Amino acid sequence: MTHRLAAAFLALAFVAVPLGAGAATLHPARAIVETGDGPPLAAVELWFRAPSSGFAGPLVGLAQLAAESVAASQGHGEPLAALVQDRGGRLAIATFSDSVQVSALVPASSAVEIARAAFEDYTRPALTEDGFKHARASVAVEAAEAQADPDAQLRARLFGSLFSGGPDRFASLPTVAQLGALDYGDVVAFAKRAFRAENAVAVVVGVHDAAPVLEALGGSAKGEPAEPPAVSTPTSSPARIHGDSIAGPALGLAYAGPPIADRRAATAMDFLSDYLLARKTGTLVRAVAGVSPSASVGGQFITLNDPGILLVEVTGDASDAVRNAVESTLRTAEQPLDPKAFEIAQRQYVYHLLHDLQTVQAQADNLGWYAVEGAPSYAPFAGGEQGEYMTLARGLTPAYVAEVARRYFAATPAVTTLVPMPPAPPKAPGSAPQQEEKAK
């Protein structure tokens, strides 16, 4: 009898948990609305400044689970996930070490409705048991996909090795065991703090008229998210990780780079990242192809509050030959390029940057990312060719880029090598679990 009562009570408690005060005058800390004259397609995004592993302690995957729980719950009408699809749109939810992104790509005619619904659902969330359960099943699928993704596997281990503290140390998606440890109370507490209106940045790109969108968002403030930027501490001697993975052989390196406050250096790192890692033209890509045609090279400089991170990822081959090619090519970047080579590299870098900003989704991602990192005017899409970023990009010199490479490549990088996971041997009774990986 007691059990049935408790169950009934819990069921009631799960029906709908309103989290916010519900004031009608709420608005995001910053609202950015860009009109467009392309196809009538709009990107509607909310960004929140919040650590993926939670505010109180490392609860890996908490932000993702909370963000998905809200989108799956019957908040103030149809759940946001269903509403976006019913309007012909696509919803995406991503969490990064220090931020949460909720993104809807919708026909422009639905942008106002989706902006209003998303803002209300997140800043005055009403979580439901069904929503929480749906989100948990969804995150489990995503976590399983990440286990088979060599880039995700490399990144998780590299970040864990590069940082001794802070949210950058942890993956955004949990393992099955970590997901099981997250309960409804954790999600409610996180959502209550992370998804406050004053901690939000709203970005809408592609509408034909900005005024109705701003009205739906409650106004056009230009402030900073309420939470302070997350702080992660890089270690001076990152461990070299050797492990195995179902995702196959892979090699990764990660360097701590300049903070976003040092914008000139961060721009130089973007240049270096393109010069080394661009898909067809990158010097490191070509060097690795020379020793291992089957290997695939990726990576980027991730502009973050402090520090930024340069990632180099090679999948398909983790041999010594590949590692030597990577390390020797990185060393060449420490010498200034000759003026002609630099001019070509600069043209390619600017083109790749602009090419990647051609869709409304990419433009909203770009504006949202830099705003939540505390530098909205530094977003490459902000201000066009005369904007802050493009001005810095045009002003780079071979000597300065080489100086930045020397400054940041001098540190010991985090290095991870993954080999394919061997087939599981038949279990012997009482045998100890296999050691997953070891640090050397």
Query: What residues make contact with another protein under the rule CB under 8 A?
Result: 34-41, 68, 71-72, 81, 84-93, 105-107, 110, 134-135, 137-138, 141-142, 145, 280-281, 344, 347-348, 350-351, 354-355, 357-361, 381, 384
Nearer to another protein, 110 or 178 (CB): 110
For residue 222, give the DSSP letter.
B
Q: Which is nearer to another protein, 68 or 120 (CB)?
A: 68
Smaller CB separation from another protein, 144 or 261: 144
Measure Cα distances from 9 to 2, 35, 205 in Å. Answer: 10, 49, 44
3-state secondary structure of 406: helix
Q: How far is the CB of 10 from another protein (least distance, A)?
A: 22
Nearest to 161 by CA among 437, 405, 420, 434: 437
Q: How far is the CB of 222 from another protein (least distance, A)?
A: 21
CA angle 67–105–141, rounded 5-degree value = 45
How many CB atoms lie under 10 A from the CB of residue 215? 13
CB of 282 to another protein, least distance (A): 11
Closest distance to another protein from the beta carbon of 235 (Å): 34
Tell me how far, at minimum, the Cβ of 359 lies from another protein, in Å.
5
In this structure, the number of other CB atoms found within 10 A of the CB of residue 157 comes to 26
Phi, psi angle pair for 333, to nearest 5°: -70, -15
Pick 222 or 347: Cβ nearer another protein: 347
Nearest alpha carbon to residue 305 among 141, 167, 199, 400: 167
Would you call 65 helix, strand, or coil by DSSP? helix
Shortest distance in whole angstroms from residue 417 CB to another protein: 26
Q: How far is the CB of 398 from another protein (least distance, A)?
A: 17
| Pick 9 or 351: Cβ nearer another protein | 351
132 burial via Cβ count (<10 Å: 0-12, 13-18, 19+): buried
Query: Please, which residue, 37 or 436, has the CB nearer to another protein?
Result: 37
Question: With respect to another protein, which residue has the nearer C-beta, 80 or 322?
Answer: 80
Sheet (strand 414-420) strand order? 296-302, 308-315, 250-257, 414-420, 240-245, 437-439
Nearer to another protein, 63 or 84 (CB): 84
The nearest distance, CB 67 to another protein, in angstroms, is: 9
Give the helix/strand (H/E) hosting 81: helix 80-86
Token pair, residue 331, equals 């060393």
Q: Which residues touch 392 (CB under 8 Å, ≥6 apart)? A: 263, 264, 267
